[in-house]
Structure 1
Amino acid sequence: MATAQHRAQKERPCDACRRRKIRCIRVPADSELCALCQSRSESCTFVQDPPRKRKRQQPQDNHNNNNNNLVGSNARSPASGIPSASPAQDDELPGTSLLRETLGHKITRSIDYIGPTTEYDASLLQLFRFDQGDEHVSATGSIIRRVNRNTHVTVRPSTQEESDSNIKYLDTIEGIVAPHGQALVDIYFRIVHPSYPILHKKVFLEKYGRNYHELTPTCLAAVYILALNWWSYSPNLVRLKKPNVQELEELFPKLMLDIYRRPKPSDLQAGLIFCQRPDGSSWVMMGELMAMAQTVGLHLDCSDWRLPEWERALRKRLAWAVYIQDKWGALIHGRPATIVRDNWDVRPVGKSDFPETAKDDDDEEGSSEVEKGMVIFMNLISLTEILSEILDAFFTLKALKEKVSPAEVLGRAKPLQIKLKTWYSQLPPSLVMEETKPRKLSSTGHLHLAYFCAEITLHRAILRSLDTPSTDQQLRSITRAAARARFTSAIDFVKRLKPEHLQSFWFFASKINLAIIGTFGCMLWATSETKEERDFYRQQLAEFRWTLRLSSTAAEFMKFTVAMLDDSPVFALDPSRHGTDFSDRQSNENQSPDDMGLPPGSGYAANFDCDSLNSNEYWLEYSAFSFGGVPTGHHGDSNLAASITPPDFYNAG
C-alpha cells in the first residue's frame, strides 16, 4: 500500500511545483525530492489537492460598458457553446496534440531569449544539467530551456493572478461576440488566413475547439476584429446584428499593455493581425511588436532548434511577417526601419513551411485560395527585401544629406530597378491580375499595388536628385518620361481591379501605398514645365480619383486617397488662377518646396554638379532600364526614350 502511495506521489507534482505551475522533476528519477525542493532544501509535500475544474459561468443579461470594469465581476460570459474551463495541462493533452513539446504556444508559459551579452554565457550554460525535455531548473526556481547547443531561453510560468486575469479577459471578449464566435473564426480562416498565413490553423482550432481559454486574449480578440470586416460573407450572419467591433478595438491596446512583461508568439501574431486593419498601422505598436519578436527569438535561425517541425515553420513565417511590417511601416510612416541586415538571421520560407495546400481550400462562396495566398506571401517577402535596399540606398538620414550627382544616383538606382523588373517578370501565372476564379476572392491586388509603390519610391529618389536648374535638359526629359510611364501604369492597374480583388484581404500598407501614387502624380503635375504636361497630369489624377471613388464602395480604405486628392493643390485650387507659373521655375531656383506647395523632399533644395555628365552614357543606361516596358500610345518624351533603348538590353545577362 505504501509503495502504491509513493508511486502515485511521484507521478504528480509536489505542492511547491504545483503552486509555481512548473514541471516537477526528480534527478535521479527515484529521488525522494524534486529538483526545486532540493535547491531550496525543502521537503516534497503532497498535501494540497489538485485545483478543481472551473464550472461554466452562466451568461448575464447586463453588461457594464465601462472599460475599467471589463475584467471585473460583471464581465460577460460566453454564450457560444464552447466549454468554459481551465486550459488543458500537458498530461491532459491527447496523444495527437500538436502542442506537445512546443516552446512558445502554451498559454501557461512565456519565453525570453537569452542573448550573448547577458549575465548568462553560452559556454557556462552548456555545463548545466538538462532533463529529457532540455530544461534546467535553477536554484532560484527559474527554468532554462536549451533549443540547440548555443541557444537558450528562459521559461516563465504564468502566475495564478495572470491566469485568472486572462480568463476574465477571454470571457469578456467572447461575450462581446457571443454567440457568433465560431462563425467569426470560420470567416477568418476562410478569407484572411490564406493570404496572411501567420497562424497555424490546426493549432488555433485545436485550442479553440477544446477550450478558448487556451488562447491568449490578444489573439482571440484580433481574429474576431479582423473577421468582422467580412461579417456579410457568412450566410448565417448576414441578417443578424453585427457585434460592436469598436468595443473590441478599444479593449485590444489594454490587452497588449497587460502582456508586455510576458509576451508569447501568439501575442505577436495578434498585434500583426490587428495592424492589418485599414486604420490599424501604428509605428509605436510596431516598436512594441519588434521588441516582442526579439524577446521570443524570432530574429534567429531556428532550423536546428529542438522544436516540432510545424513550430519551426511557423516561426519562420511569423518572422518574415514582422520583416514585412517593419519595412513597409518604415515606408508609409517615413521612419527608419528597425531591422538591420546584420541582426537578421532568418532563412527564406519555402512551400514546405506552409502546412495547408489546395486540398484545404474552403468550398464556400467568397473564400480565398490557399495556394495563391501562399505564393502571394512568399513574393511579398522577396519584394520587401528589394524595398529594404531602396530605403537603405536613398532614404536613410545619411543618404538624404549626401551631395550626390545625378550620375551616382542613377548608378545606385539601376541594379535596384533591374531587381524590381526581374521580380515582376518572374511572378507565376497564378498571380496575374486577370487570373481569378468564380466566386473566389483574390488578394493579388495588394501585391501588385506594393510593386508599383516600390517602383514609385525609387523614382521619387531619382527625381529628387535631378530636379535642379543645372541638370542637363535631356537627362531631365528622360527621367521625367520614365516617371510618367510608372505613374500611368499604376493608374491602369487600379482601373483593372475587379470586385474579387476589392473585397479581399489587403495588407496594412495598401491605404498609404495608394496615396503615394497620388502624391507622385501631384509632384509630377507641380513640376511640369509646360501647360500641356500639367493638363495631362491633372487629367490622369482626375481619372485616378474617379476610379477610386467608385471602387471605395467595395474597398473603404480607398476613400483616404480620394480625400487627399480633393485637398491637393491640383483640385483644391483653380489652375487658371495659380500665381506661380511652373514653366518659369528656372528663374525661381531659390524657391523652397514649401513655398511652392510641394511635399517635403520633392526637389528644388539641392544643387548637383552635372559637369561629370559629359557623355550620353548615363542617359542611355537609364533609359534602357527604365523604358523597356513603356506601354505604346504614350507621347512626349517617352518617344525619345524608346528611340535610344537598346533592344537586347533585357536579354543580356
Structure 2
Amino acid sequence: MSSPPSARPYRSKRHRPCDQCRARKLGCQTDDGIPCQRCRAAKLDCTFDNPPPKRARLSESLSFAVPSVDELPVTSHAEESIFGRGFSNSGSPPGSVGPPYSSLDFGQVGGPSPDSGILLAARPPTQFVQSIDRLEHGYAQLFGASSESDPWLLRHCRFDDAGMKYFYKVHYRNAGGVPTAQRIPVHFMVSSEELSSAIKQNTRAGIGEVTREYLDCLVPPEYGRRLVSLFVKYVFPALPVISRSQLGLTTTSYQLPELSALAKVPVHLLAAVYASAFPFVSHDDYLCVLNTYHNSPVQRLWRMVYELVTEEIHSPRLAVLQAALLYLHQQPMDETRYRTADTPFTWSFVGQIVGLACSLGVHIECRMWGIPAWEKRLRRRLWWAVYAEDKWRSLVMGRPPYIHSAEWDVSELDEGDFLIGPRQSFSTCSCDTEIPFRTLRASQVLNADFDSSAELGQSLLEQLNSWYSSLPDTFRLPNWSKSVQGLAPYPTSIHFAYLLLVVYVYRAMLRPMARSSSPPMIFDMEEMPINSPLPVDDPTLDFPDISGIECLPEISISDECGTGEIVLHGAEKCATILVNFTRRLTPSDFTGFWYSCKRPPRKMEIYKTI
C-alpha cells in the first residue's frame, strides 16, 4: 500500500522543500518526518504538490542559476578526500559526523513572517560537550565582537550537535551555552595546523627542531614523574596553570603521574613544568642525589620552552599560554641577576601573554560553554593568572596595564575551580582590584591634592582590610607583632603581598605632603650663543655633604581634621610591621617566594638606606 503524497519518506540527499517553505524561501526541516518543523509549528498543511521549476542549463543561459540552500547536496567525508586532505572531526561524539563542506544555512534573519509565527530553528536542540583545546589537527582562535566574521551573524549559522560548522581547512566552532542574558555569542575559528606550518619557520628561535626525544634525553620520563609531583606540591598552589585531572592526579597529596599521561603533554609545557620544579629537587630523596652528581638541565629546558613558544604561538593552544606563564617566572641561575632590575623584555612578554590569552578566549566567562569541566576550570584559572601578572607587574614596574575592566567578564575563582574530578555546585561574586593611584592621569592630579589622595587611599585601605578579614583563619595572622612560624609558605607570601600593597597605597598618599622642587632650567648648547655664560647659583651646591639626595622641601601636613598626622603615623606603623615581618621569616618560609616577583624585598632595603 503506497503512502499518500503528503507523507512521502524523507531523503537525506537532494530533497525538495515543501510548498510552504519554498514560497517563503526558507529551509525545510523534515528530520522528524512529515509535516516539517516549520509547518508543524505554524499549524499549516505540509504539501509537496507543486514541483520546483526546472533550472536552465548553463549552455542555455547567459547567467548562472544559483540553487537554494535546501537544494545543495550534502558532501560526505568520502568525497572530501577527492578535493584534498580535510580536517579531522575526531572530537565529535559517536554517531555525529559533521559534513566538512556543507554550505552556510542562515535562518530567517529578519524575524518570522507575519502570517506564520515561525521562530528560527536552525540550531539543534542539544549540543554535545567537546573540548575546544583538544582538537586533533587544528587550533582555535576567538572571533571578537568586531572581527571579520561577526559573532552576531554566526549565531544564525546551522551548527551540528558538536557545535561545529565545517569548511575546507577553516571551520567554525560554536562555544555553546550562549547567547543568554548579558552574554554575547561566542565563536571560534578552527584552522588546520598545516596552514601555519610555513610561517612558524619565520619566528623559530632555534636552529634545529626541538623534539620530545631531546626532552627525554635531558630528563628521562621516570625522573619527570617526580618533577611533576614536586611542581604540584610547591608551584601549583601559587600558580595553578596545569590541569591535574589531565595528568591523572586524583588526589592533592604527593602522587606520581603515569608515564602515559606525561606522553600526552605537549613538549613545551612539560619542559616548563620540569624547569619550574627543579629548584625543589632537594625535597625528593631520589632526585636530590641525582642532582648532586649531574649538571642541571634547567637552562636548556627554559631555552626549549622559549623556542617552542615563539614557534607554536602561530597555532596556539592552552599549553602555549601555560608554558609562557611559567617561563615568565623562571628563576635566574646567576645570583647576580637578583641585584638587577627586569629588562624591558619582561613587560613586553607580559603583553604577548595577554594577547595570546585573548586570542584563546580565556578572558570570557566559559562556565556555560559546551566544553569539558576540566577545561572550564583551567581556562578560568589561566585568565586570573594572566590578570594577576598584568596588574601586579604594572604596579611594581610602573607601566600602564594591558587589561582593561570593560574587556573581560570572568567571575572570581572559587572552590569549584580547583576540584579534581566532576563538577560541583559553585557560587560567584565580583571583585575590582584596580588601583587608581597608579594610572598616569590620576597621578598627575592626585600628586598635588592631599585631601583627594587621603580620601581615595582610605577607601583602598578599607578594601584591603576587608579582603584580609575574609581570609580563612589559617591564613590570617592573629598578631602582626608576633612570630610568623607555623604558617604554610604560601600564606607567608600572601601576607607579604598584602603588606606590599598597603605600602604602595601609603606611598601614594604621602606624595602631596612634600612640595616638588622647581625643575632645572633647560639649556640647549647647540642653540645658545657662543659667548653666553652659564648660571652657577645652583642651590644644591650649598649642601656638599649630601650625596645623591637633594634637600627636601618643607612638608605641609596642616589640615583641620589632622589627617596629615594620621597618614604619617599609619605609614610609619606599616613600615615597621613590614620590616619586622621580613626579619622574622625563616628559611622554610622562603620556599613560597620562588616566583620572579620576589625582587621587591630588595627595593625595601633601598628605601631603608635612604
TM above 0.5:
yes
Give the structure 1 partner of residue 568 of structure 2.
480
* 8 Å contact from structure 1 (residues 453, 516) kept in 2: no
Q: What is the 5 A alignment of 1:473-552?
A: 476-504=564-592, 506-512=594-600, 514-522=601-609, 526=610
Cα shift readout 1:480-506 (whole Å, capped 9, x = no counterpart): 322111111001111232333222354
1:218 partnered with 2:247: no
SS at match of 2:368: coil
SS at match of 2:100: helix
Query: Residues 12 and 209 from structure 1, CA distance in 2 versus in 1: closer, same or farther, beyond 3 angstroms?
Result: farther
Structure 1 residue 257, shift from structure 2 partner: 0.9
1:341 partnered with 2:405: yes
1:432 partnered with 2:487: no
Structure 1 residue 223, shift from structure 2 partner: 0.1
1:185 partnered with 2:185: no
Q: What is the 5 A alignment of 1:274-313?
A: 274-279=327-332, 282-313=346-377
Matched-pair identity in %:
23
Structure 1 residue 209, shift from structure 2 partner: 3.5
* 8 Å contact from structure 2 (residues 163, 173) kept in 1: yes
Query: Residues 506 and 432 from structure 1, CA distance in 2 versus in 1: closer, same or farther, beyond 3 angstroms?
Result: farther
* 8 Å contact from structure 1 (residues 184, 231) kept in 2: yes
Aligned residues: 422
Give the structure 2 partner of residue 417 of structure 1.
461
SS at match of 1:282: helix
* 8 Å contact from structure 1 (residues 429, 435) kept in 2: no
Q: What is the 5 A alignment of 1:313-462?
A: 313-356=377-420, 385-386=432-433, 388=434, 390=435, 393-402=436-445, 404-432=448-476, 442-462=489-509
1:141 partnered with 2:183: no
327-336 or 195-204: bigger deviation:
195-204
Aligned counterpart in structure 1 of residue 303 of structure 2, from 230, 250, 263: 250
Query: Residues 130 and 356 from structure 1, CA distance in 2 versus in 1: closer, same or farther, beyond 3 angstroms?
Result: closer
Supply the distance in 1 between the matched residues of 2:84 and 2:279 (Cα, whole angstroms).
43
Cα shift readout 1:19-72 (whole Å, capped 9, x = no counterpart): 34422899xx999xx8336679xxxxxxxxxxxxxxxxxxxxxxxxxxxxxxxx
Cα shift readout 1:502-550 (whole Å, capped 9, x = no counterpart): 22354432222x234334434xxx4xxxxxxxxxxxxxxxxxxxxxxxx
Supply the distance in 1 between the matched residues of 2:138 and 2:271 (Cα, whole angstroms).
20
1:471 partnered with 2:524: no
* 8 Å contact from structure 2 (residues 96, 161) kept in 1: no
Supply the distance in 1 between the matched residues of 2:465 and 2:488 (Cα, whole angstroms).
27
Supply the distance in 1 between the matched residues of 2:303 and 2:90 (Cα, whole angstroms).
40
Cα shift readout 1:322-370 (whole Å, capped 9, x = no counterpart): 111111111222211111111121111111111149xxxxxxxxxxxxx
Q: Over aligned residue pairs, what C-alpha RMSD do you find?
A: 3.7
Supply the distance in 1 between the matched residues of 2:235 and 2:96 (Cα, whole angstroms).
51
Supply the distance in 2 between the matched residues of 1:428 and 1:30 (Cα, whole angstroms).
48
SS at match of 1:36: coil
Give the structure 2 partner of residue 550 of structure 1.
none
Structure 1 residue 123, shift from structure 2 partner: 3.3
* 8 Å contact from structure 1 (residues 264, 296) kept in 2: yes
Residue identity matched to 1:311: E
Give the structure 2 partner of residue 36 of structure 1.
100
Aligned counterpart in structure 1 of residue 146 of structure 2, from 108, 111, 117: 117
Structure 1 residue 230, shift from structure 2 partner: 0.7
Cα shift readout 1:221-279 (whole Å, capped 9, x = no counterpart): 11011011111111011111253211112232211110221111111111112222345
Cα shift readout 1:84-115 (whole Å, capped 9, x = no counterpart): xxxxxxxxxxxxxxx98211145643210001
Residue identity matched to 1:144: Y
Structure 1 residue 308, shift from structure 2 partner: 1.7
Structure 1's unaligned 5+ residue stretches are 1-9, 41-98, 358-377, 527-653
Query: Residues 515 and 344 from structure 1, CA distance in 2 versus in 1: closer, same or farther, beyond 3 angstroms?
Result: farther
Structure 1 residue 213, shift from structure 2 partner: 4.8
* 8 Å contact from structure 2 (residues 506, 571) kept in 1: yes
TM-score normalised by the chain length of structure 2: 0.62
Structure 1 residue 477, shift from structure 2 partner: 4.3
* 8 Å contact from structure 2 (residues 269, 305) kept in 1: no
Structure 1 residue 467, shift from structure 2 partner: 1.4
Give the structure 1 partner of residue 16 of structure 2.
none
Structure 1 residue 212, shift from structure 2 partner: 4.2
Residue identity matched to 2:505: L
Give the structure 2 partner of residue 6 of structure 1.
none
Structure 1 residue 457, shift from structure 2 partner: 0.6
* 8 Å contact from structure 2 (residues 362, 383) kept in 1: yes
Whose helix fraction is larger, Structure 1's or Structure 2's? 1
Q: Based on CA coordinates, which of the two structures has the bigger radius of gyration?
A: 2
Give the structure 1 partner of residue 246 of structure 2.
203
201-210 or 284-293: bigger deviation:
201-210
Query: Residues 11 and 209 from structure 1, CA distance in 2 versus in 1: closer, same or farther, beyond 3 angstroms?
Result: farther
Give the structure 2 partner of residue 103 of structure 1.
132
1:169 partnered with 2:198: no
Give the structure 1 partner of residue 518 of structure 2.
none
SS at match of 1:428: coil
Cα shift readout 1:289-345 (whole Å, capped 9, x = no counterpart): 101110011111112111122221221111111111111111222211111111121
Give the structure 1 partner of residue 549 of structure 2.
none
Supply the distance in 2 between the matched residues of 1:499 and 1:24 (Cα, whole angstroms).
51
1:267 partnered with 2:352: no
Supply the distance in 1 between the matched residues of 2:588 and 2:91 (Cα, whole angstroms).
56
Residue identity matched to 2:395: L
1:156 partnered with 2:191: yes
Structure 2's unaligned 5+ residue stretches are 1-75, 105-127, 180-184, 202-207, 250-256, 333-341, 422-427, 478-482, 516-553
SS at match of 1:263: coil
SS at match of 2:412: coil
